[in-house]
Amino acid sequence: MIDGVQQTGPLEWEVPVGYIPGMRVPGRFFLSTALASTVETGAVQQLAQVATLPGIQTHSLAMPDIHWGYGFPIGGVAAFDIEQGIISPGGVGFDINCGVRLMTTPLTPADLTQKKELVNALFGAVPVGVGARSKKTLSQADLTAMMQQGAGWAVRAGYGMPDDIIHSEEQGCMKDADIAFVSDKARLRGLPQGGTLGAGNHFLELQVVQEILDPVAASAFGLVQGTVCLMIHCGSRGLGHQVCTDHLRELEQATKKYHIHLPDRQLACAPLTSPEGMAYFGAMAASANYAWANRQMIMHEARIIIEKITGAPYDEMRLVYDVAHNVAKKEEHIVDERKKMVCVHRKGATRAFGPKSPDLPNDYAKTGQPVIIPGSMGTSSFVLAGTDTAMKKTFGSTCHGAGRVMSRSQAKKKIDGKGIREKLAKQGILVRAPHDAAIAEEAPGVYKSSSEVVSVVDAIGISHLVARLEPLAVIKG
């Protein structure tokens, strides 16, 4: 392990105050011995740097999928006092509300007699790749409604069912959205991209529920062993990226204005209550709502195609849940033994609220929030449930995926995308992508083991394993 980092438990590590100058709280991350060699010194440095920010509460945190990112480490979680704390785009990321949703179907793999036709139809219906443009014609009024109303707009516009809204984090809409702080350039980028997947690690994946680990929670979530599910992973597209870019410029100036000393300019921030902080928060929330509407539109298209090709009824394809893993939100948590409103930044981390949390739908009140953790292409994905332990230890947060161990540029040099596609085909997993380089960038070997990552969060108790899903077909952005 890295010099200066102390192991405080079988799976817990601490970066003590003093590791770098100016730390206000310790850093804490969760990791198994098997994953210890994957931790970059730079990611631990970033974790310590986050601990220097004004108003940070208890710890700077990171999940077992921790790796180096922009500003905050990916896998990072930090909560800030509403009055004294800051907000930072580096704690959210450029792809605002990149997130995952999982939909069940009544199908089994044996029902997918036209699997290749189904995958090709999905690939044709959901635009993928850099700069992908929607086949839907949206107006400026539609775009405004997407940013203000999120998934609710999409359902009311005919892209889904009312039950979908209930089964989304925040019911698919942050009420703090303020479109006044979304630039014309961001709107221009977002207008043609509603209902598109994009590129990078975004995907659609047909999966089978391979193993049930908690029958009670699985039943509540509608997960049945041997049935087919669809997982969707994408975010706010060019709109969110532009919002981040625009406000980073403003917040770099605000950092100087408010005399905030930073160990890294990528942590550009402003007091949450300042005009600059409120402007970013409002624009970020609008971008998050756009992302929820985007995933809702994609799911709607997928339902139509699955119904057409397999005969599975549209209304029997149920949304389990939709979770964000790049966002900052105002939430109430216990800090120093009292309830307190804080602004929780989750950068490559998933909300994992425990049983009886007020934001959860009634059917999940006893189990805790569904937590959806995708694997890398060709490997297991998992459904977990949020816990009371997460509420106490991590501001209701857990991991978000496997975590990269190789950059995209390295992957393209070292990995043969065509070979990966052919290898997966021999395993019965169909892969469609805009080009083989997109497959190489996201090959299983460039990520940590998803099984190992989720075993850590399950053992610590910050989320609880419910089911394991295996891929049947993958559409890569």
Q: Residue 250 is part of a domain; what is its CATH number? A: 3.90.1860.10
Residue 58 confidence (pLDDT): 98
- Name the domain count of the chain: 1
Mean pLDDT of 359-371: 97
User: What value does the mean pLDDT take over residues 158-178?
Assistant: 97
Q: 171 pLDDT exceeds 70?
A: yes
Tell whether 145 is covered by a domain. yes
Over range 91-97, report the average pLDDT. Answer: 98
Provide the 3-class DSSP secondary structure of residue 360.
coil
Owning domain of residue 335: 6-88+95-405+447-476
Mean pLDDT of 255-282: 98
Element (H, E) at 345: strand 338-347
pLDDT for position 176? 96
The mean of the pLDDT values for the chain is 95
Is residue 258 pLDDT above 80, yes or no? yes
Report the greatest alpha carbon distance in the chain: 63
pLDDT of 404 > 70? The answer is no
In the chain, the amino acid numbered 378 is G
Among 247, 325, 345, 400, the active-site one is: 400
| Residue 205 predicted with pLDDT over 80 | yes
Structural domain contains residue 366:
yes
Cα angle vertex 352, ends 300, 464, to 5°? 105
List pLDDT tens digits, range 432-467. Answer: 988 888 888 877 777 767 899 999 999 999 999 999
| Residue 399 domain-assigned (yes or no) | yes
% the chain with pLDDT above 70:
99
Report the distance separating Cα 235 and Cα 239, nearest Å.
Answer: 10
- For residue 107, being part of any structural domain is answered with yes
Tell me, yes or no, whether 431 lies in a domain: no
Decide which of 406 and 418 is more confident. 418
Full-model pTM: 0.96
Q: Tell me: pLDDT of 412 over 80.
A: no
Q: What is the pLDDT of residues 112-133, one digit of tens each?
A: 999 999 999 999 999 998 888 9
Tell me, what amino acid is at 217? A
pLDDT band, very low/low/confident/very high, at 232 (cuts 50, 70, 90):
very high
Residue reference for tokens 């087919």: 228
Q: Is there a domain that residue 442 lies in?
A: no
Picking from 405, 409, 399, the residue whose alpha carbon sits closest to that of residue 444 is 405
Ranges 177-181, 429-433, 448-452, most confident? 177-181
What 3-state DSSP class applies to 347? strand
pLDDT at res. 406: 76
Assess whether 67 carries a catalytic annotation: no
What is the per-residue pLDDT for 42?
96
H or E segment and range at residue 319: strand 319-324
- Residue 335 lies inside a defined structural domain of this protein: yes
pLDDT of residue 455: 96
Residue 382: pLDDT band (50, 70, 90) is very high
pLDDT of residue 129: 85
Average pLDDT over residues 215-238: 98
- How many CB atoms sit inside 10 A of residue 311's CB? 10
Helix, strand, coil shares of the chain as percentages rounded to 5?
A: 40, 25, 35
Q: Is residue 11 part of a domain?
A: yes
